[in-house]
Amino acid sequence: MSTELLKHKLDRAFGHLDVDGDGRAVRDDMLGLGARILVGFGESPTSPAGNRLVGGLEAVWATLSAATGGDGVISPEGFRAGMISAFVEGDRFDPVFRPAAEAVAWLCDADGDGSVRPAGLRIALTAFGTAHDDVDVAFDRLDRDRDGIISVGELVEAVRQYYTSADPNASGNWLFGPL
């Protein structure tokens, strides 16, 4: 198990929030990520799906902010330490992070059949700043049975693995493309 791998993934995840590159994340950065996701899917923040996503991201931010001292500004190092404290070593993934991950995964499921296709994943990962070609690589790695779909549950598990696992063989390491 490589803690360096987990640190690398979390540092990359910080970059998903810190889109302006100022070296800090604030609540508006988290909500901006949510807005990018919702715009990509053409979903209103006041729709049921939008409410689930915004509520999920608010809960993740509140937990992360509390784990980093609660001043509302999180550095890259603080982000990494807070994520590890709350979601890796702590017991907050299922009650806090999972609902946000599920909200994104269900948005990716265009027809509500429990399956995510490449186009849906592309919309979500583009909101995170993932390069076009890396989305294809991510989908191929996550679609382990090569049937052209990923179940919503598999996508949520990939999210868990990306944000919490130090296992170098976890398929979720590929969530945002090659590391």
Domains detected in the chain? 3-163 (1.10.238.10)
- CA-closest candidate to residue 160, choices 88, 71, 59: 88
Give strand pairing partners of 150.
Answer: 116
Return the amino acid letter for 45: P
Strand extents, DSSP E, the chain: 25-26, 73-74, 115-116, 150-151
Helix (H) or strand (E) holding 68: none
Inform me whether the pLDDT recorded for 1 exceeds 60. Answer: no
Residues 161, 170 contacting (CB under 8 angstroms): yes
* Angular region, 146: left φ>0, alpha ψ -120 to 50, beta rest: left
Inform me whether the pLDDT recorded for 2 exceeds 70. Answer: no
Summarize pLDDT for 22-81 with one digit per residue, the tens.
999 999 999 999 999 999 999 999 999 999 999 999 999 999 999 999 899 999 999 999
Summarize pLDDT for 90-125 with one digit per residue, the tens.
999 999 999 999 999 999 999 999 999 999 999 999
Coil, strand or helix: which one is 73? strand
Model's pTM, two decimal places?
A: 0.94
Coil, strand or helix: which one is 48? helix
Summarize pLDDT for 133-162 with one digit per residue, the tens.
999 999 999 998 999 999 999 999 999 999
Who contacts 120 (Cβ-Cβ below 8 Å, separation ≥6)?
A: 107, 108, 109, 110
Q: Half-sphere exposure of 35 toward its Cβ, with a 13 Å CA cutoff?
A: 8
Confidence of residue 19 (pLDDT cuts 50, 70, 90): confident
The single-letter DSSP state of residue 20 is T
The predicted pLDDT at position 98 comes to: 98
Both tokens assigned to 126: 């583009």
